Structure formats: structure tokens, C-alpha cells
Amino acid sequence: MMKSVNTILLIDDDDTTNYLNHRLLARMGTAPDIRVVTNGDEAMEYLNKAFSGEEEYPVPDLIFVDIKMSGMDGFEFLEEYKKVPAEQKVNIVMLMLTSSASFYDLEKLKQFPDVRKHYSKPLAEADVREIMETYF
């Protein structure tokens, strides 16, 4: 039996990736509540509501964020996320999803200690198992 968490937040502007990731996470029983937002602005909006205690916006246990998105991209989102007080995000695991892990992107990721690791899109079953075993 795999561990599960309450809420997962997927941040990606690609519908296909969101569909595949959502389906895999749901099928594997990782979380009863999987939310999808399509850019960094929506993600920050969601998190601001969650951190201010709005019931219908539970604080996610796990966040997957795509690097390349239109509007506010993954790195801009991470810049904003850096400003969130540490105690609010202490229990959140942030992982980055990328379709093209360029050396530049991976170097840049080092500036964001909030991100624990990066995975290729879309997620594979083995990735999800590893994530759940490692972080939860």
C-alpha cells in the first residue's frame, strides 16, 4: 500500500501533461485532492488563499511546477514562492517538472532550495513511487 497525501497542486500550462499527471496520480491513489492551475499567477493566487486559511483551498502537501509556462513561468513563480514565510511552507514538498532539462535550467534551479528535485514530464509510475517513498 502506497502512502498518500491530502492535496497535490499541479502547475503547468500544458493540458496534455496535466491530464496525464492527474490521471497517473489519481490511479496510483497518491491524494484524494489533486488541483490543477495553468500558470504561476494562478498558483500564487491559490497558495495565498490556502495560507490565509480559506477552507476550499487546502495547503498542498506536494507541488509540481513546470519550468516553461506562458505568463509567469516556473522560475518567476519560484521567485514569488521564496517570499512565503518559511513556517507556512515547512510541510510542502516542491518538485520541478521539465520537458527539457537544459544545463542552464538545472544550474538556475540551485538558486531555489525550495525545490527538492526535478523530474521529466510527464511523470512515470516509478517517479511517483520514488517521490512518495522519499518525501512522505
pLDDT band at 70 (very low <50, low <70, confident <90, very high): confident
Q: Specify which residues 95 forms β-bridges with.
A: 64, 117
pLDDT of residue 99: 83
The mean pLDDT value of the chain amounts to 94
1 lies in a domain?
no
72 lies in a domain?
yes
123 lies in a domain?
yes
Which helix (H) or strand (E) element contains residue 47?
helix 40-51
Please count the structural domains in the chain.
1
Comparison of pLDDT for 2 and 118, the residue scoring more: 118
Between 77-86, 93-102, 126-135, the lowest mean confidence (pLDDT) is in 93-102
110 lies in a domain?
yes
pLDDT, one tens digit per residue, over 7-20 is 999 999 999 999 99
Residue at 79: amino acid letter: E
55 alpha-carbon distance from chain centroid: 20
20 lies in a domain?
yes
39 lies in a domain?
yes
116 lies in a domain?
yes
Q: What is the mean pLDDT of residues 96-106?
A: 85
Q: What CATH number is attached to the domain comprising 102?
A: 3.40.50.2300
pLDDT of residue 123: 96
Whole domain around residue 116: which residue ranges?
Answer: 7-135
Q: Could you tell me if 8 and 29 are in contact, meaning their C-beta atoms sit under 8 angstroms apart? A: no
